[in-house]
Structure 1
């Protein structure tokens, strides 16, 4: 189906040391969806990723590059990219990894679902979703982490940590990006939570997530632990608010 009614679409692709992957994934994206533009946000990669991005952009006017001086975390890179995309007037602003784990050939699933949503998530953990080349321990960690998010925050999203997603610009404007302080991977859960708190529509569509075959993953035990601590703090804060509201209703 045509996605012209969605307006201008850009995928924000953060990079840090993705020299072996960037051109490959951008070429795939532009071939699969010629009308979708690309904004590469490079965090000062020492392996030359930024120069590769510039070379791609020099050949393709639908590709632009945002150079940041240093690595400050995934969330910080996305926030910068979102601000630039909003200022440029894009109607739909997306996220995807540069390592090939998010397949550009499946982007149409997210675009289709955005017809009646404010945020669409490409989910590994809904019926039809899957992961390729993950050890059972990482699968268990991701499934368990997302179950924890659902139970603690009381949300119905099955893959709140996913990084393949599309936002309507109106959604990003409503959740107030200037107040977001998450800079690491917990940024993904933070924005889902904020979107739901704002009363906006979130949909999940199944994707096949493919573990990277080139380069090094940025995920680590320390990163996962940081995310867990922040989500726990949010959840406890929300439970206290719910309890306070319940007590207030009972005492009126």
Structure 2
């Protein structure tokens, strides 16, 4: 069985953490859990320490301050790579990613480098989302596909499993994204590295306790960064095409 760890970033998730860790440990008893807490003022870090004291497969990484989702994942990935885990996953602590569906991702990783639990492939769904948020997510993902020229339906999804070799090829030291755009950033880098990416359907459930960290400001920032990447990629494509034409022209001359 591959050594597997799921990285779970937390900020003010004291009401959810024990519940989601228990579900994960029951659903996949061989999987380890790494809680990465950004010094939550509600005591989430202490809850995580209590869980780790009771279960040797639960680990905690305390960060000094709130640094963003991407920064928390990068710290968790570095921790997991240093401890020779074979498979390294990511999921939310609020119950939106159901541990009972993690097996779908682990089954698919046998012939992939990165597996994404997708809301927007056939069989995927969302529960308790307002129409406006559904349209925003679908529209944002369509925008990403068109602008970046990729064939991934849910580029912003945060329920994922990587092979350690995939994270090593991506070169995490070059990743600068700290917010929610981190998910698209890593996918973009994985595809550029020639890695095999698979999507499997999941049912995404809106949190029932605590406050969502997503906001209009966060969404706008993410789309701004993606636009910049897409325009840069289109510019590179034009330059490559122009270079090939010039080379052919010189050859004919």
- TM-score, normalisation: structure 1: 0.98
Other-structure match for 1:119: 114
Other-structure match for 2:104: 109
Partners of 1:113 and 1:32 in 2: CA distance: 17
Match of 2:143 among 148, 151, 165: 148
Other-structure match for 2:90: 95
What is the DSSP-based 3-state SS (H/G/I as helix, E as strand, rest coil) of the residue aligned with 1:64?
strand
Q: How does 1:56-75 map to 2 (within 5 A)?
A: 56-75=51-70
Partners of 2:99 and 2:32 in 1: CA distance: 12
Partners of 2:88 and 2:45 in 1: CA distance: 21
List structure 1 runs of 4+ shifted beyond 6 angstroms: none
Partners of 1:134 and 1:144 in 2: CA distance: 15
Other-structure match for 1:173: 168
Q: What is the deviation of 1:84?
A: 0.5
Q: What is the deviation of 1:192?
A: 0.3
Match of 2:187 among 192, 200, 203: 192
1:27-78 CA deviation, whole Å, 9 max, x = no partner?
0000000000000000000000000000000000000000001101000000
Other-structure match for 1:128: 123
Q: What is the deviation of 1:81?
A: 0.4
Alignment pair present for 1:250 and 2:245: yes
Partners of 2:178 and 2:145 in 1: CA distance: 21
What is the DSSP-based 3-state SS (H/G/I as helix, E as strand, rest coil) of the residue aligned with 1:162?
coil
Number of matched pairs: 247
Q: What is the deviation of 1:132?
A: 0.1
Select the structure of larger CA radius of gyration: 2
Structure 2, unaligned runs of 5 or more: 248-253
Partners of 2:220 and 2:68 in 1: CA distance: 15
Partners of 1:212 and 1:34 in 2: CA distance: 24
What is the DSSP-based 3-state SS (H/G/I as helix, E as strand, rest coil) of the residue aligned with 2:213?
coil
1:73-114 CA deviation, whole Å, 9 max, x = no partner?
000000000000000110000000000000000000000000
Other-structure match for 1:86: 81
Partners of 1:138 and 1:69 in 2: CA distance: 32
Q: CA RMSD in A?
A: 0.3
Partners of 1:148 and 1:195 in 2: CA distance: 19
Other-structure match for 2:250: none
